[in-house]
Amino acid sequence: MTMHDPIPSPDKPSGTPSLIERASEMYDFRKSLNQAGPDLPPAEEPDTDAAKAPAPGMAPPVPPAAAASAAPMARPVAPVRPRSTSSLPVAVIDRDVLRERAFIVPDGPVTSISEEFRIVKRRLLASIRAEANAGLGAAAQRILICSAQPNEGKTYSAINLALSIATEQDHDVLLVDADFAKPSILSSLGIEGQRGLMDALADPDVAVEDCIIPTDIRGLSVLPAGRQTNTDSEYLASVRTRDVLARLTDGRPGRIVIFDSPPLLAASPAATLAQHVGHALMVVRADVTSERALRDALGLIAGCNQIQLLLNGTRFSPSGRSFGSYYGYGE
């Protein structure tokens, strides 16, 4: 591993554009979005100072006006986390497994990965506050992690973001595996589960709360994908989905729900889920994701309120900062 420069604080961005801003330039992000569909509002110039100076690690959201806002949430944030209502036993997550797989280790040392995701998290939480204030409702509390193709780092990013948000005092995280065909959240975390989101969608007798697995990481619980079916998209598109998803945040204004999803260009659940979330984080794998694939993928989630790019695994940072470059830190 090479030496890397310190990571600038999100409050004090350096003069160098962030990696994600570079991604926006590289992929001509706005142009792609403007071509994505007739329903998308035209790109506007940011009208707040915060929107003019996006934090390192995140592209300006689209539309930008609802970006970082220091205003308090309209709904009160729960000062104390409500106790889990799930009757399932607490799953113990092996910290060595997290370390081996380059995930953030709770109460572990500060690493480049944890710092990168801290920056991403700050930006997202500001965006969530703004959307809650704008009256978006429960959708403001939901984040979809998506990408065009397999192996671009969706699951990797979803888990690290969840682990990062779980450390927040005012929030808890529910990490949902919505990659129904190839679920990997449980195996990545080294835990076991049975029923999950698809069971609750397919069977009205299954309460989705009963499928949530509490973990021994404070503030983190997991909802497995559940049963495999050839009609996952149809279940997801049904009216019942709205009710099932609403139950995930019912009475929990501080909860953030993160959905890991299948590739947009390979399966339809991510595009369907995009209609239920306030934020979509599009993972772009440096040197792998083509501009064409990114543009097509963006077109499939164009209706989502806030879309942000997350550049994963880049090798072209002049400062050495990137998600991927520290994979295997400690070498």
Site residues, ligand ADP (CB under 6 A): 147, 150-156, 312-313, 323-324, 327
Cis status, amide bond into 60, omega within 30 of 0: no
Residue owning tokens 């204030």 = 133
Shortest distance, position 237 Cβ to ligand ADP, whole Å: 22
Query: Within 136-155, which residues bind Mg ion (CB under 5 A)?
Result: 154-155
Shortest distance, position 326 Cβ to ligand ADP, whole Å: 8
| Residue 313 identity | G
Shortest distance, position 155 Cβ to Mg ion, whole Å: 3
CB nearer to Mg ion: give 157 or 305.
157
Q: Give the one entry of ligand ADP, Mg ion, none that residue 156 binds, where binding means its C-beta sits below a cut-off of 5 to 8 angstroms depending on kind.
A: ligand ADP
Shortest distance, position 177 Cβ to ligand ADP, whole Å: 10
Q: Is residue 260 within 8 Å of 158, Cβ to Cβ?
A: yes
> Which is nearest to 285 in space by CA: 254, 312, 255?
312
Q: Give the one entry of ligand ADP, Mg ion, none that residue 313 binds, where binding means its C-beta sits below a cut-off of 5 to 8 angstroms depending on kind.
A: ligand ADP
- Alpha-helix residue ranges (DSSP H) falling in 37-109: 49-52, 95-100
Kindly give the pairing relationship between strand 220-223 and strand 213-214. antiparallel
CB nearer to ligand ADP: give 256 or 264.
264
Shortest distance, position 152 Cβ to ligand ADP, whole Å: 4
Q: How far apart are CA 219 and CA 117, in angstroms?
A: 16
Number of chain positions touching Mg ion (CB under 5 A): 2
The yes or no reply on residue 157 touching Mg ion (CB under 5 A) is: no
Q: Give the one entry of ligand ADP, Mg ion, none that residue 153 binds, where binding means its C-beta sits below a cut-off of 5 to 8 angstroms depending on kind.
A: ligand ADP
Query: Within 245-304, which residues bind Mg ion (CB under 5 A)?
Result: none
Shortest distance, position 147 Cβ to Mg ion, whole Å: 9
CB nearer to ligand ADP: give 10 or 153.
153
CB nearer to ligand ADP: give 131 or 152.
152
CB nearer to Mg ion: give 55 or 145.
145
The two tokens of residue 149 are 């193709």
3-class secondary structure, 39: coil
Q: How far apart are CA 80 and CA 170, in angstroms?
A: 7
Strand order in the sheet with 306-312: 213-214, 220-223, 172-177, 255-260, 142-146, 279-285, 306-312
Q: How far apart are CA 156 and CA 203, in angstroms?
A: 30
Shortest distance, position 213 Cβ to ligand ADP, whole Å: 20
CB nearer to Mg ion: give 55 or 259.
259
Q: Is residue 143 within 8 Å of 256, Cβ to Cβ?
A: yes
| Residue 42 identity | P
Kindly list the residues in this chain that would bind Mg ion in the complex (CB under 5 A): 154-155
